Structure 1
Amino acid sequence: MTRKNVTPLLQRNDPDSEPLTGNTKVTRQDWLNVAMDILISDGVEQVKVLTVGERLNVSRSSFYWYFKSRQDLLNALLQHWDETNTAALVHQSETPADTITGAICNVFRCFVDDSLFNTWLDFAIRDWARRSGSVRRVLDQSDETRLAALEAMFARYDYPAAEALTRARVLYYMQIGYNLAELNEPMSQRLKMVPHYLHAFTGLQPAPGEVEALRDYATAVSRGEKS
């Protein structure tokens, strides 16, 4: 799998804080952020204590304040992914909407907002799962959880059980495959297709304002103006 060049995730919440150099104390989240950056850009094999420490410019002894071992760090990365990506998709699928097309627009927010759903982290976890049976089992459970949430979303809008399951699977697997294809499609083109995708997923036309609200959200995200 070709990996995209990503911006390092290491950051401070306080823009006036000192840069991470020399004797500056790093946090557990700093270790996780850099490890995640390496996982996304280079794969799980390169997530090593020494490598992360060098990126942080700190000694390995700092690592053991927060983690018992490399495996402990890897477990934390997997937990972070599950508590962010999977949780976000479930939450968005449960967000109230007047129509099923509006509900799907809520789900689509995951795929236009990296702060909700980190697509590149999802790729990295799937790549990792090809090398680890235990990670594969976690991934399978996550996929089941996501699909169940989408199925329940369709069921809330009175789709029969078999149809709710089928439409949930079409929506989810299309979105995963769409992202894995790495089409390099401009967001403007992707958003232009949203009304047609909604019709394909639901059999219905979107209600007035639903697609425009999603476009406004995507624009705010791109400008860093999302509240």
Structure 2
Amino acid sequence: MAAIETTIPRAGATGNIKATREDWLNLALETLISDGVERVRVLTLGQQLDVSRSSFYWYFKSRQDLLDQLLDHWRQTNTRFIVERAGRPSATVVRGVMSIFECWVDERLFDPRLDFAIRAWARRSPATRRALDEADEERVNAIRDMFIRHGYDEEDAFVRARVLYFMQIGYYSLELNEPMSSRLTHVAAYLRSFTGVDPSPEDVADFSNYVEKTLSGKR
């Protein structure tokens, strides 16, 4: 989505300043994650951006419009990438689970801080609660379908999907600060536990290489 810029005059300024739709959205996302939805306020955001409120209404109809777009951003990142990874063609079920694991490694695919900001918001907003429930269901169903494609019966596939997905959500909720190097020592056991199949040495090596490449690219 291309950024749209508008020039906002500021009283007493020597020139003009520019604020884009993405400036507002990015700051709103940062505020949602760090301070919660109650702090996502037009006046507060405008003060932080050092622009007038008229800049906001150039891009958004209302605060609710902004909040709706934050929810849409969350769907188009955290949910979309899990569904996409689960739907990828894979030669084996182990490789299918490895594709999903990519979301737990790369926060550009799944941002746990954003997910839990949405979960906190859902505690006070029935509409957000419905959106969250729908997202959880969509994610689990996508993982279930991956298991079904590899020959698991529907109930087994559903339970394995729930265990895989909700274990990771629980891991984030406990805020465990475990180094990735430590987690990688258990990757073969995790893959075996989730699939009932022993991963090959090539599977483990390929995933370790993916992790190393991904984390080095973020430095």
Q: Please, what TM-score do these two structures have when normalized by structure 1?
A: 0.87
2:116 — aligned with what? 123
Q: Secondary structure at the match of 1:204?
A: coil
Identity of aligned residues (%): 54
2:136 — aligned with what? 143
Q: Deviations over 1:47-84 (max 9, x none)?
A: 11122122222221111110011111000000110111
Which of 100, 112, 129 pairs up with 1:107?
Answer: 100
Tell me, in whole angstroms, the C-alpha distance in 2 between the residues paired with 1:98 and 1:52: 48
Matched, 1:93 2:82: no
Which of 44, 48, 52 pairs up with 1:55?
Answer: 48
Tell me, in whole angstroms, the C-alpha distance in 1 between the residues paired with 2:109 and 2:16: 33
Q: Deviations over 1:87-136 (max 9, x none)?
A: 00000001122111111111011011011111110010011001100000
Q: Secondary structure at the match of 1:26?
A: strand
Larger Rg, first or second structure (1 or 2): 2
Tell me, in whole angstroms, the C-alpha distance in 1 between the residues paired with 2:49 and 2:19: 8
2:191 — aligned with what? 198
Gaps spanning 5+ residues in structure 2: where? 4-12
Alignment of structure 1 residues 3-42 onto 2, 5 Å:
23-42=16-35
Does the C-alpha gap of structure 1 residues 52 and 212 become closer, same or farther in structure 2, counting only changes over 3 Å?
farther
Q: Secondary structure at the match of 1:25?
A: strand
RMSD, aligned CA: 1.8
Tell me, in whole angstroms, the C-alpha distance in 2 between the residues paired with 1:144 and 1:23: 47
Q: Cα distance, 1:225 vs. partner?
A: 6.5
1:6 — aligned with what? none
Tell me, in whole angstroms, the C-alpha distance in 2 between the residues paired with 1:225 and 1:33: 19
Q: Deviations over 1:196-223 (max 9, x none)?
A: 1111111111133222222222222222
Q: How many matched pairs?
A: 207
Q: Which has the higher helix share?
A: 2
Gaps spanning 5+ residues in structure 1: where? 1-11, 13-20
Tell me, in whole angstroms, the C-alpha distance in 1 between the residues paired with 2:184 and 2:74: 26
Structure of higher RCO (CA pairs closer than 8 Å, 6+ residues apart) = 1
Q: Please, what TM-score do these two structures have when normalized by structure 2?
A: 0.90
Tell me, in whole angstroms, the C-alpha distance in 1 between the residues paired with 2:19 and 2:26: 11
Tell me, in whole angstroms, the C-alpha distance in 1 between the residues paired with 2:91 and 2:58: 49
Code of the aligned partner of 2:93: I
- Residues 90 and 146 of structure 1 are in contact (CA less than 8 Å); yes or no, is this contact kept in structure 2? yes
1:82 — aligned with what? 75
Tell me, in whole angstroms, the C-alpha distance in 1 between the residues paired with 2:206 and 2:49: 40
Does the C-alpha gap of structure 1 residues 23 and 219 become closer, same or farther in structure 2, counting only changes over 3 Å?
farther
Q: Secondary structure at the match of 1:111?
A: helix
